[in-house]
Structure 1
Amino acid sequence: MDDMEQNLSKLLRAVESLSSFRRELISGTDSFSKALSMLASCEENTSLARTLSHLTETYENIGQLHAEQAEKDCALLAEEVSEQLQVIGTLKELFFERVKVWQNWQSAQQNLTRKREAKARYELSGRTDKASQILEELNNAEKAVDEAEKEFSEVSKVIRGEYETALVERRKDLDMMLSQYLRGLLETQKQLLKHWETFAPETQSIEIS
């Protein structure tokens, strides 16, 4: 579980860095497309002006694709990884709680042992009054042990169920999300290539006199 938490934390940091990079790329692409638009508007060569105008449109479309991909980075990848980390954090808290409950159980058992030993000593020494007096304490100690054992079993059952869910269902969710994200990323790259392929013939129409 610790290894998975470390790997997911690294992935989340990488996604956050990627998202930051995409925002910078979007800003840079927007600035560049505006500069191209201004250049096209004052270019005297008609064919070059037309090509620059089309290049501006290409960069605007590319900027839009980067913006959409940045949304997917955050909405799909980062959120899912964050949820996975929250689940792991909850599980670790449950494990700590289980340790505390186990310690309480052990403490109750030790107290019960002390009460039994005290009762036995009183009986051996013929102090029946003390033996009778400690009997109620012994009964309470036995109840405390039973309750602590029951609580430990219940907590262990909950943890086992949550752990199995995290291992099976949550891992399946993560695999599905990564698969969906990769398909979307590939589609974005295809769209980027399509925009460049559409623009490429424009460069052949430039006439330099």
Structure 2
Amino acid sequence: MTETSRLSAVRASYDAVALDYARRLSGELAARPLERAMLGAFAESVRGAGGGAVADLGCGPGRVTAHLAGLGVRAFGVDLSPAMVAVARRDHPGLRFEVGRMAPLDMADGVLGGVVAWHSTAHTPPGDLPDLFAEFARVLRPDGHALIAFEAGEGRRRLEHAYGRPVDLDVYATPPDLVAALLERTGLTEVARMVRRPLDDEPHPRGFLMFRKPPAP
């Protein structure tokens, strides 16, 4: 599958499930204290480093964007799916959401205080992660932070039905050490990591990595 066809399939799949996805995940963070802890530490780190805008890349219906905004971060969302962005704008009218890809990003170098990819790299083949993470590092300003959440494991699974709808998605699990190594190659430095056991019907543990771009000399 070419990159163009893969992105088209991801866009179409999430357009199809956007309303059901938003309903199903509404309030999810309220029952996930470990996730809230990582988001809280990230938000505090961004604020402590001088603030700045934070891009929630692959934001879906905007629940993480809104959570970060509630923690005092100037968060905005970007998503490939126009239907997801429409739902995010409907549910969080005071926040900014844009349709766009995670890479390349339509942003100048060093303009963000933070980048979040909350399980949004799940459909990116591992071989494409270096270029994706290099783009995250490019748009971060010195002392900016990145937070990546992902399925921690190995392998690919095919997803043809989700949220009551047919979809056309490959989902990748990636070892935390590999994700960390790829982020380090971009010049970012690891700050913290967490791996929690699977909940409910999750097929893999969930990994969370926070990285920081070194301050300017």
Q: TM-score when scaled to structure 2?
A: 0.20
Hey, which of these two has a bigger chunk of strand by percent? 2
Q: TM-score, normalised by structure 1?
A: 0.21
More helix by share: 1
